[in-house]
Structures are given as C-alpha cells and as structure tokens.
Amino acid sequence: MSQLDPLPTDLPFRIISKTIGRGAYASIKKAVPLDADTPIFAVKFIHKTYATKQGRISAKQIAMEVSLHSHIGQHANIIEWFATGEDDVWRWIAMEYASGGDLFDKIEADVGVSDTVAQIYFSQLVAGVSFVHSKGVAHRDLKPENILLSEGGDLKIADFGMATMFAYQGQRKMSSTICGSPPYVAPEVLTCARAPRREGRKYDPEQADIWSCGVILFVLLVGNTPWDQPTEESWEFVEYVKTGGHSSDELWQRVPADAQSLLRGMLAIDSSKRFNMQRIRQHPWFSRSNPLMMENGRMKDPLQVATLMLSKLRIDFDKPVPRNGGNASQDAMDTDPVGGISSTQPEPMLQDPFFDFDCRLNTNAPTLGNLSANRISAFSSTRPTTSHNIGGISATQPVGGHGMGVTSGSAREILDSEPGLSQFSQTPGVSLTLTQRARQFRDLVPEQRFTKFLSASPPHHLISLLVDALHNLSVPLPSNLPEPEMSPSAPYVWMVKIRAMDGRKQSMHGEIVVDRYYLGGEFGGELLEVRFLKMKGDPLEWRRFFKRVAVLCRDGVFKPEA
C-alpha cells in the first residue's frame, strides 16, 4: 500500500496500530480520540480509486455501505457504526472495535464447539441477522471472517460492504449482484452468476442470508464447511442434494441428531421452502433450555463458556501431516488438502498494496465531533495491549543474548498460566492454574489469536524449521528470505508474508512473525514467540494452516509439560 496515497492529515482521531484486518480494497486499524487513550475503536479505510479499479466497487456502493450500516442502528450483536468522512482519495468509517477478536479463531478446526456453546453463538447470530433484516437490510456476506467477539465473549456481526436494502416502505426487491464466499453462499446466488444476463435471474437476499447462517451453524458444530461451494463441482453438495439432505458424509454424521433437521430446513435448495427466522426460533434445538444462556441470548456464565471453548483447542503432535501437495489419505474423496493450502493452485505472489500498509500517525486533527459522550461509552474500554505481552510477561525488553531457554521453575509456572499454551498440552482439559486465576471471559479466551507458539530453539534453527515446514506444505515463499535480526532495536527477529489459496480454494493472506519473548526479573530465561497473523481469509482455514506448521515444527515448539 506504500504505492497508494498517504492517509488524510486531518483525521479526527489518532491511529494506534498497523493494519489489523483487510478486505479486497480496504484496511482496518485501531484508533482513539485525539485527546485520550480510550476508548479504542476501529476505522476502516477505503481507497476509492483502488476500490473502483481493482475491486470494481463504485462510489455509489461505498456510499451504500456507510448508509446501510448507519441505518441499521444499535444492537448487542452488531458492530455499531459511529462516524464517517472522506477526501478526494479516501473514505473512512469509524465503528465499534470488537476487542474479543475473531470468534472462529477460538474454535478448533475440524472439531468445532460443544452443542451448548454452538447454541449460544447461533442464537446470537440469529438475533443479529434478524435485527438487520427487520431494518429491510440483507448482509449478503455472512462468514466466519465477519463474525467477531466483544470483550465479554458475545458475538458481533461485522462488515456491511456487500449489504443491500431489500425491503422499504412495503416494497421488496430481489438481488442479482454476485457476492459472498463460495463455501457460505447460497446456491441460487451462484446460479445467477452462471446464467446469461438476458435471463434476468435474481435471488432473495434475505433467504440467502438464512443459508449462510445454516453453513455457519454447521461449522460451529463440526469445525468445517459442508462443501467447497454449493454447485455440481462439489461432490459433498451433490451427495447432499441426491439424498435430500441426509448425506452419508462423515461431517454430517458428527452433527447432533436434533440439529440436523434444523440445518436441512435452513439449507433447503429451494429458497421458497427454506426456513425463515420464525421457523428457526421455533425449532426444538434452537428453543431448548440452555444452562449457560439467559433468556435474552446473553451468556449466563461467560467463564464456563470460555472454559468449554478452550478445552477444545488442541494440537496433536503425533498426527501425520501430508506433505508436498499429497493428502494423508489416498481416498479420492478426501476433502482435507495439505495444510489448508491448495498446492495445485498457489495464489500468485503479486504486489498487494493493502498487504502491509503502515499509515502515518496523526496528532493534529480536530476532535471527533460526530461521537457524543454516551456513544463513546459504548466503545470497547479495553486498554491498548502490546501483542508481545502474554500472561503478564513483557516481551518488549531487549534480549541480551542469543541462547534461548527457560532456566527457572517460576518462569515455567508463569508460562503454564498462559491460555495460548494450553493447546499444546497433551493432557485433555484446561489446567486448574488457568481456571482458578480467571475472573472474566477474556482471561481464558483473550483477544490475541491462538495461532502462535513459543520456542526455546536458537533463532536460526527455528527459522529453518519454519521454512522447511512451509516448503513441505507447498506454500509460496520469496526467493530471498531475510536473516534473523536479534538487535534490540529491530521490530522483530524475522518475518515472512503468506499469500496462498486455502483448502477451500479461497485467498488467504497473513504474516508469520518471530519475535523476542523475554522473561525478566528474578525468573530469567529467554524464548522466541512465533505469531501467525491473519490479514485476510477464513479464520478456521488459517488455524488449520497454523496447526500443521506447528506439528511440522514440533521439535522447536515449547510445550507446558516439557
């Protein structure tokens, strides 16, 4: 993005982060008011020319996103819109910051969550989507990437860039715009894409959202999508259609019996026969009593929900990882490709100006007058966090030597209390150390992604393990990889960008960053931290990719019991 124009100099807020998320033509950063360090909110920056030329998004469509998001209003399960502004080059949108991070980053790929937790989050998803629909708006891009969490762990629906107004003053309209992610999009949307324009094919965007909600429920329950896309090119979808929704696929067999009829109703091929929100709410699986959920859909016991989620996150170091583009199974129907990466269709390593843009900080603009005091209070009150701060241990202090290791039992005890390390424990469940210290949801399931590990290996050895793992997974890498940099002034030890196609043939972009992790004070000892930072793509696919790299680097991964 360095090739693009710099951000405006008169922004009514201060930017406090690099890019934390991005889409095809936009990036998202954290910001605060000019005269305070809180509250933190998110700002989406859209480069209007790039959106038009590369994203094929018109100025009218950008304005529509702003208009519809602001029109929807406030709801507990919707990212709230705050303010907007633009100049000749940029449009910015300030909105609520979901300080809990991605929901699906906290869900184990190919496993899912418990039936009880799935019901909570699905109920909140239905509440949010129903509210959007009540305003005459359809989202049209519901997928894990657009489902976030509040600080307390409640679900938040984000990104209304593909939204449309389908009902207004008693009138309804159909859609013809092709949008959404293939694994989550309704079949009638793809039918419109393939039909000749002269036929004038259209679809009901409200019912298309219902389909997407059904796929998301499936993913909550089993940790994978039922198909790559709902077309004849997917054998899983063909099987589903031929059997009238009673697929023999192993994934469907893992869906609880009482939830299968709900899924079949939401995933009805004929959209006119598809469940509406009323029928969803009346379904026994949806309406049953849940000991962890209040009547209003909020969590009754956030700590217990967090414990159940954390207990499912597990990395099996004994599980074989397919290499060099081959599947672990020779079964032609095996749908789990190498490392979550389609080695036969690597995404070209083209320059992407939104990949690593780091904007200029701005301190001289007027205050954000659009935001009143009462709306400010609705922002996340979370203090800015340092991505290197784990378990209360600062990693920002300089590392004096190159030898890595934990030399103190006390240091090891502190590390054992870090939630992110529990996934590497080979003992099932969540440790008492974690649960006894936890006071709120984020103590067990923090904002920071779980796609990271610590290592006691020397830098060169660790990086060699990482590079070998990426090569084995056929991940495209630049020809000239950097050498590790251990200087205290360096921003990190080592970094490589990832740009590839995931196992569902969707774009996946991010970075692998190796950083210093210093155990100071009386404890002593030094470690390295390896963070897998997703910038674009399905959170579950990114986690699947992370897990396979971690398994291939098993000899360099710090484990709590080691």
Q: What are the pLDDT digits (tens) for 368-378? A: 444 433 333 33
Q: What's the confidence (pLDDT) of residue 19? A: 86
What is the rounded distance in angstroms from the CA atom of residue 102 to the CA atom of residue 150?
9
What is the rounded distance in angstroms from the CA atom of residue 396 to the CA atom of residue 398?
6
What is the rounded distance in angstroms from the CA atom of residue 317 to the CA atom of residue 232?
36
Q: Are strands 164-165 and 167-168 parallel, antiparallel or unpaired?
A: unpaired
**Average confidence score pLDDT of the chain:** 83
Clarify whether residues 85 and 120 are in a common domain: no
Tell which wins on pLDDT, 20 or 343.
20
Look at residue 466 and tell me if it is in a domain: yes
pLDDT of residue 362 exceeding 80, the answer is: no
Name the residues annotated as catalytic: 141
Clarify whether residues 70 and 191 are in a common domain: no
Last residue of a domain, which of 70, 96, 122? 96
What is the rounded distance in angstroms from the CA atom of residue 412 to the CA atom of residue 185?
46
Count: domains in the chain: 3
Neighbours of 68 (CB within 10 A): 22
Which residues, other chains included, contact 213 with Cβ-Cβ below 8 Å and sequence gap of 6+?
A: 122, 125, 126, 129, 142, 266, 280
Q: What is the three-class DSSP state of 211? A: helix
DSSP 8-state secondary structure symbol assigned to residue 398: P
pLDDT of residue 8 exceeding 90, the answer is: no
Annotated binding site for ATP: 44
Look at residue 363 and tell me if it is in a domain: no
Nearest Cα neighbor of 3 from 53, 59, 63, 42 is: 53
Look at residue 168 and tell me if it is in a domain: yes
pLDDT of residue 171 exceeding 60, the answer is: yes
- Is residue 522 very low, low, confident or very high in pLDDT (cuts 50, 70, 90)? low
CATH number of residue 416's parent domain: 3.30.310.80
Q: What's the confidence (pLDDT) of residue 416? A: 66
Q: What's the confidence (pLDDT) of residue 327? A: 36
Q: What's the confidence (pLDDT) of residue 280? A: 99
Look at residue 212 and tell me if it is in a domain: yes
Clarify whether residues 49 and 107 are in a common domain: no
Degrees, nearest 5: CA angle 137-142-147:
110
Tell which wins on pLDDT, 324 or 166.
166
Q: What's the confidence (pLDDT) of residue 382? A: 31
Q: What is the 3-state secondary structure (H, E, C) of 133-189?
A: HHCCEECCCCCHHHEEECCCCCEEECCCCCCEECEECCEECCECCCCCCCCCCCHHH
Q: Report residue 508 as tokens.
A: 């996946």
pLDDT of residue 384 exceeding 70, the answer is: no
What is the rounded distance in angstroms from the CA atom of residue 467 to the CA atom of residue 453?
16
Q: What is the DSSP string of 442-510?
A: HHHS-SS-S-EEEE-S-HHHHHHHHHHHHHHTT----SSPPPP---TTSS-SEEEEEEEEBTTS-EEEE
CATH number of residue 74's parent domain: 3.30.200.20
Look at residue 442 and tell me if it is in a domain: yes
Clarify whether residues 396 and 501 are in a common domain: yes
Q: What is the three-class DSSP state of 43? A: strand
Clarify whether residues 436 and 350 are in a common domain: yes
- Give the domain extent around 291: 101-301
Q: What's the confidence (pLDDT) of residue 36? A: 96
- Is residue 543 very low, low, confident or very high in pLDDT (cuts 50, 70, 90)? very high
Q: Which H/E stretch holds residue 84?
A: strand 81-86
Q: Which H/E stretch holds residue 534?
A: strand 526-536
Clarify whether residues 129 and 56 are in a common domain: no
pLDDT digits (tens, 9 = 90+) for 214-255: 999 999 999 999 999 999 999 999 999 999 999 999 999 999
Q: What's the confidence (pLDDT) of residue 470? A: 96
Q: What's the confidence (pLDDT) of residue 2? A: 43
Q: What's the confidence (pLDDT) of residue 415? A: 66
Q: HSE-up of 74 (CA within 13 Å, CB side)?
A: 6
Contact assessment for residue 175 and residue 148, using Cβ atoms and an 8 Å cutoff: no
Q: What's the confidence (pLDDT) of residue 198? A: 61
pLDDT of residue 291 exceeding 80, the answer is: yes
Clarify whether residues 57 and 128 are in a common domain: no
Look at residue 7 and tell me if it is in a domain: no
Clarify whether residues 492 and 403 are in a common domain: yes
Q: What's the confidence (pLDDT) of residue 383? A: 30
What is the rounded distance in angstroms from the CA atom of residue 267 to the CA atom of residue 261?
10
pLDDT of residue 396 exceeding 80, the answer is: no
Clarify whether residues 421 and 551 are in a common domain: yes
Average the pLDDT over 358-367 and give the result.
34
Q: What's the confidence (pLDDT) of residue 413? A: 64
Clarify whether residues 423 and 503 are in a common domain: yes
Neighbours of 384 (CB within 10 A): 11
Last residue of a domain, which of 64, 96, 128? 96
Burial (CB < 10 A; 0-12, 13-18, 19+), residue 166, is: buried
pLDDT of residue 402 exceeding 60, the answer is: no
- Is residue 49 very low, low, confident or very high in pLDDT (cuts 50, 70, 90)? confident
Last residue of a domain, which of 96, 117, 150? 96
Average the pLDDT over 9-14 and give the result.
93
Q: What's the confidence (pLDDT) of residue 510? A: 92
Average the pLDDT over 481-499 and give the result.
91
Average the pLDDT over 194-212 and give the result.
88
CATH number of residue 109's parent domain: 1.10.510.10
What is the rounded distance in angstroms from the CA atom of residue 137 to the CA atom of residue 160?
10
Average the pLDDT over 447-456 and give the result.
92
Q: What's the confidence (pLDDT) of residue 385? A: 32
Look at residue 493 and tell me if it is in a domain: yes
Clarify whether residues 201 and 270 are in a common domain: yes
Contact assessment for residue 31 and residue 41, using Cβ atoms and an 8 Å cutoff: yes
pLDDT digits (tens, 9 = 90+) for 83-136: 999 998 999 999 999 999 999 999 999 999 999 999 999 999 999 999 999 999
Look at residue 29 and tell me if it is in a domain: yes
pLDDT of residue 308 exceeding 80, the answer is: yes
Clarify whether residues 81 and 157 are in a common domain: no
What is the rounded distance in angstroms from the CA atom of residue 528 to the CA atom of residue 388?
10
Average the pLDDT over 517-529 and give the result.
73
Q: What's the confidence (pLDDT) of residue 523? A: 53
Tell which wins on pLDDT, 160 or 520.
160
Radius of gyration in angstroms for the set of CA atoms belonging to the chain, rounded to a whole number:
23
Nearest Cα neighbor of 557 from 423, 456, 467 is: 456
Percent of all residues in the chain with a pLDDT value above 90, rounded to a whole number:
62
Q: What's the confidence (pLDDT) of residue 409? A: 57
